[in-house]
Amino acid sequence: MSNQRIERMTQEVCSDLESLGLHSYGVAVSGGSDSIALLHMLADWEFDKKPDIMVASVDHGLRTESQSEIKFVKEICKKKKIKHFSLRVTANLLNAGGNLQENARIERYELLKNWAVEQKLQCVLVGHTLDDQEETLLMRFFRGSGVDGLVSMQKKVFRSDILWIRPLLKFRREELQHYLKINKHCWVDDPSNYDKKYLRVRIRELLQQLRRDNLLTSNFVKTSEHMSRASKLLKKRANSDANNLLSFDEAGQITFDSTKFLELFEDTQYRILAGIISWFSGTVYKPRFSQLEHLYCKLVQNKDLAGLTLGGTIFRKRKGVVTVVREFASVESVYVVKDQDFIWDNRWLITMNVCPKIKLFVKPYGSLDFENCDIDFNSDFDKEALATVPAIVTHSMVKFVPLSNLKYDVEIKLLNQNNEFYKFF
């Protein structure tokens, strides 16, 4: 691998980022070769209007070596005069159940997202490479993923209100390690990268064998590019059909006609169900297909459905009409008001028009002590849906509940518009 190619790689990465015209970057750096290479490229980037760069390293609490690896990154940042943050996962991932690496990934991204918001960063850079792209594609293929699961990683994606950028996505890990070697930079090898109990490690070894046998070409990742185009088309069709099918009321209940639902393409039907669940739960991660398939079969096969819960939502079917409400048990019981603008339970935008002089809380309406409440509502809403709307309260008094006769200097909006609801499809 020539030094000229390495120089071109560095120039391309920095030029692409420069063209975005952003003034601040967050960089997730673990200590491994990929993220360390990205850190050095950015630190040595010569640019007249160079943006502010901040680095965060995450300790998942899974390995004793994590602290020393974070210290290693911190020392590099100190020499490069870059501000460094250490983030630690507070949940016990070893006792969480399910897929350990997937749980760690979810916690990591949540920490990075919160860090980026607190530091007012315009984006977060992560060091995913072409190798990661191939590994992810093959893992999802073996798991039986559909079109969306086989979509390629995107170089830039806006998710959870944060712009995530993968500047190294077209380069191989060996290229980045060569860059580090010729510049005499060190990195840390995570021992879990060689532990065969993890599926990704076994997939990595399989890919290496396929390359040695000349069975893997550059066209392999093109499969995910084809899937990306198909996914965009299917999502657009589902969005259009859902817009004509679904009705929202002010309490957040969704209703739709089951006969019209069954006239849609099967793929569209599944996308609509998954989109509804993601909207209620506020997560971009769809429910497992087996769970979604079970819900779908119940809705299709049963004339009436008393209630089926999935992903923090309750589906019911009666006289050909499906209703969906938020599951009360999934709503946060008490939220302390800290900001004038915030989103509560993923779907409600609450704006305090004046800074409150007393301590306020948000609770679901259904958790209030009704003996001390004298509240009338403007319409006859579904009781389960109404139970999950936000109530502004003090320690001893109900100040405001939307849709009611109570008055208070606050605005509460249900986030169900096209750009708010369909982003989950």
Report which residue type is found at 214. Answer: N
Asked if 344 and 314 sit in the same domain, the reply is no
pTM beyond 0.75, yes or no: yes
> Do 125 and 26 touch, CB atoms closer than 8 A?
yes
Task: Kindly report the average pLDDT of the chain as a whole number.
Answer: 90
Asked if 295 and 353 sit in the same domain, the reply is no
Q: What is the number of structural domains in the chain?
A: 3
Asked if 63 and 110 sit in the same domain, the reply is yes
- The maximal CA–CA distance of the chain, rounded, in angstroms, is 78
pLDDT score for 372? 61
Asked if 93 and 209 sit in the same domain, the reply is yes
- Between CA 122 and CA 163 the distance in angstroms is 7
Q: Could you give the angle at which helices 199-212 and 130-142 cross, rounded to 10 degrees?
A: 110
Q: Which residues of the chain have pLDDT under 70?
A: 1-2, 370-373
pLDDT score for 254? 97
Q: Is the residue at 425 inside a domain?
A: no
pLDDT score for 371? 63
pLDDT score for 422? 84
Q: Is the residue at 230 inside a domain?
A: no
Give the DSSP letter of residue 154. Answer: P
Q: Is the residue at 110 inside a domain?
A: yes
Give the DSSP letter of residue 320. Answer: T
pLDDT score for 218? 78
Asked if 324 and 336 sit in the same domain, the reply is no
Asked if 335 and 386 sit in the same domain, the reply is yes
From residue 229, how far is each of 224, 225, 233, 243, 265 by CA, in Å? 9, 7, 7, 22, 18
Q: Is the residue at 385 inside a domain?
A: yes
Q: Is the residue at 422 inside a domain?
A: no
Show the tokens assigned to 384.
């389960």
From residue 180, how far is each of 3, 113, 183, 235, 421 by CA, in Å? 11, 28, 5, 41, 44
How many other CB atoms are found less than 10 A from the CB of residue 239? 18
Q: What domain range includes position 117?
A: 3-222
Asked if 314 and 345 sit in the same domain, the reply is no
> Do 207 and 77 touch, CB atoms closer than 8 A?
no
Integer-rounded Cα radius of gyration of the chain: 25
